[in-house]
Copies of this chain bind each other. A is one copy, B any other.
Amino acid sequence: MITVIEKVAEMRAFITQARKQGKTIGFIPTMGALHEGHLTLMQEAKKCSDVVVASIFVNPTQFGPNEDYDAYPRTWPEDLEACSAVGVDVVFRPSVKEMYPNGWGTWVTVAGITDKLCGKSRPNHFRGVTTVVAKLFNIVQPDKAFFGQKDAQQVVVLTRMAQDLNMPVEIVMVPIVREPDGVAKSSRNSYLTAAERKSAPILYKSLCAAQQLVSQGEQSVQNIVAAVVRSIKSEPMATIDYVEIHSFPQLEEMAGLNQEALLAVAAKFGATRLIDNIILKPGERG
């Protein structure tokens, strides 16, 4: 049996009750349009939590004015069924008005690491993410919260937020789930035309090639980035937004590849912006 809750007060009452019974709470915040990546997060949560709560909320504050808030896929009946099938106990599904009532005006911002990568082309995006997740954490009060590595910068930013604000929650990062051809699962893949979808595997292919370079001893960040750029450009349908390498999880500039590093890419296929990444490991095969 799955419970659907739409009001903050009801969600809080449920949590208070669960906490009184000494239950641990695992939480998966989502924007819905659930795919296998989300379901993997839920399964992970299930393994180590007495109660699993997923939220479905397309958060307006993390979309830019010219981004896809209105177009973002909303697939409620399927989402509910998927949550139920995977054993989620509660789906929290608030309205925009419930989360941002009249007069609302408090932001949580993480400085520094939000300026690079996706933060560069999506100003205020991470402010929206950190703010809504801070709110959801306060409502759901989870012991652990689960996020996909696909949004690696998001995981780093949220981990920093939780640490910096002393939130009593553990952030768990779960590996990327991919289609058979390597494309990272994403709700936005549904925007792709058949031709765009066919060219999308270039991103992961380029990332794997980079890991191979590293395994062969390449240590120059500049050379690796150049190789990835070249590789993505070989696909005419792809327009690069960024290819960047940063230390992980600090997201600092790196001169040479002497520790684990995040290689992250963003590219447009037609009007659709896709992101992908791998953690480069010096001396390991990709």
Residue positions of A touching B, CB distance < 8 A: 8, 12, 19-20, 22, 103-113, 130-131, 134-135, 138-139, 141, 160-161, 164-168, 250
Q: Which of B12, B105, B108, B141 contacts A106 (CB 8 A)?
A: B108
A-B contact pairs, 27 of them (CB 8 A): A8-B166, A12-B166, A19-B19, A103-B250, A104-B164, A105-B111, A105-B112, A105-B113, A105-B160, A105-B164, A106-B108, A106-B160, A106-B164, A106-B165, A107-B109, A108-B108, A108-B165, A109-B109, A131-B165, A134-B165, A135-B164, A135-B165, A138-B165, A138-B166, A138-B167, A138-B168, A141-B168
Of all chain B residues, which has the CB nearest A113?
A: B105
A193 to chain B, nearest CB (A): 40
CA gap between A48 and B3 in the complex, in Å: 34
A53 to chain B, nearest CB (A): 14
CA gap between A111 and B106 in the complex, in Å: 6
Chain B residues with Cβ under 8 A from A105's Cβ?
A: 110-113, 160, 164
Chain B residues with Cβ under 8 A from A103's Cβ?
A: 250
A197 to chain B, nearest CB (A): 38
